[in-house]
Amino acid sequence: MRPLTMVGNWKMHGSLSANQAFLQELLAAPDLGKKPGRFALCVPYPYLAQVSQLLAHSPVVLGAQDISDHSHGAYTGEVSGQMLKEFGTRYVIVGHSERRAYHHETDDCVARKAKAALLNGITPIICVGETESERDAGQTLPVVRRQLQAVLDLLQNKIADCLIAYEPIWAIGTGRVASPHEAQDVHRELRLQLAKFDADAASKVAILYGGSLKPDNAKEMLAMPDIDGGLVGGASLVAKDFLALCAIDQ
Ligand code: PEP
């Protein structure tokens, strides 16, 4: 049984005072931590230190939203895995569709970033997903298979130490959600692809759904056999919504 995994992606939101207020509300919730599960918040780089301190000894762990594929050197603006590790970062999102689209990250680059995370003991959350036009052209499965295969080729059996997030791009931040069956079909394909590679990893790796997940649509989604949790944008900015997502029984 894979535990429920709920990961918030704050994207480029927050401020020192708003983060403090959010975490105060989140951590005051009496039920948080009573349920088994893995909970994380992926915050902007400048807030790693603040959020790391506030989350200390809580059931919610720290995550980042990107990582350099280099270990160190003349890469202005980049942040290395070792730096993330120093702040207690446990998860890092790699290959989010916004980075693939706006920063031209390729499948190979995403795979190298996942490797950089693992080399530093940080769990990569590897995002895959199709655009609306790819979906309309019936290309969903070939696209996500290609994205996952690039990571499998580089990481080999280390894939067992990763998380995967299926995020249909047309559902991110749009209020449009994939139907639970539609998402399940993709998750099952991803798990089959993992199983062809490494059966043990396939049963172990959590595959999260992301795309307008909210407390009122998550229960049905998480009831699907291959959907193990969520990667959540908008709803992770509202403490009561994130708490409600973490409290869902699978
Ligand atoms: C995301 O940022 O990965 C995401 C899924 O956003 P939202 O939940 O807002 O659609």
Predicted pLDDT at 47: 98
Residue 14, number of CB atoms within 10 A of its CB:
19
* Cα 96 to ligand 1 centre (Å): 10
Give me the pLDDT at residue 33, please: 75
In this prediction, residue 35 carries a pLDDT of 77
How crowded is residue 15: how many other Cβ atoms within 10 Å of its Cβ?
Answer: 10
Whether 228 is in the pocket of ligand 1, judged by its Cβ within 6 Å, is no
- At residue 149, what are phi and psi to the nearest 5 degrees? -60, -35
Cβ-Cβ contacts under 8 Å for 114 (sequence gap 6 or more): 94, 95, 124, 126, 151, 154, 155, 162
Task: Taking residues 19-34, report their average pLDDT.
Answer: 91
- Note the pTM of the prediction, 2 decimals: 0.97
Structure confidence at residue 31 as a pLDDT band (50, 70, 90):
confident
Q: What is the mean pLDDT of residues 108-126?
A: 98
Written as six digits, the tokens of 195 are 């199983």
Please count the CA atoms within 13 angstroms of the CA of 236 that sit on its side-chain side. 26
- Alpha carbons 171 and 177: distance in angstroms, whole number: 5
**Closest by alpha carbon to 16, among 42, 51, 45, 40?**
51
Closest CA to 177 of 144, 205, 215: 215
Binding site membership of 66 for ligand 1 (Cβ less than 6 Å): no
User: Does residue 23 register a pLDDT over 90?
Assistant: yes
Question: What is the CB neighbour count within 10 angstroms for residue 12?
Answer: 7
Ligand 1 mutation target, pool 11, 97, 217, most atoms within 8 A of CB: 11
With 80 as the cut, is the pLDDT of residue 201 above it? yes
Domains of the chain: 5-246 (3.20.20.70)
Residues 235-244: pLDDT tens digits? 999 999 999 9
| Among 72, 96, 98, 103, the one annotated catalytic | 96
pLDDT band at 114 (very low <50, low <70, confident <90, very high): very high
When pLDDT is cut at 50, 70 and 90, the band that residue 167 belongs to is very high
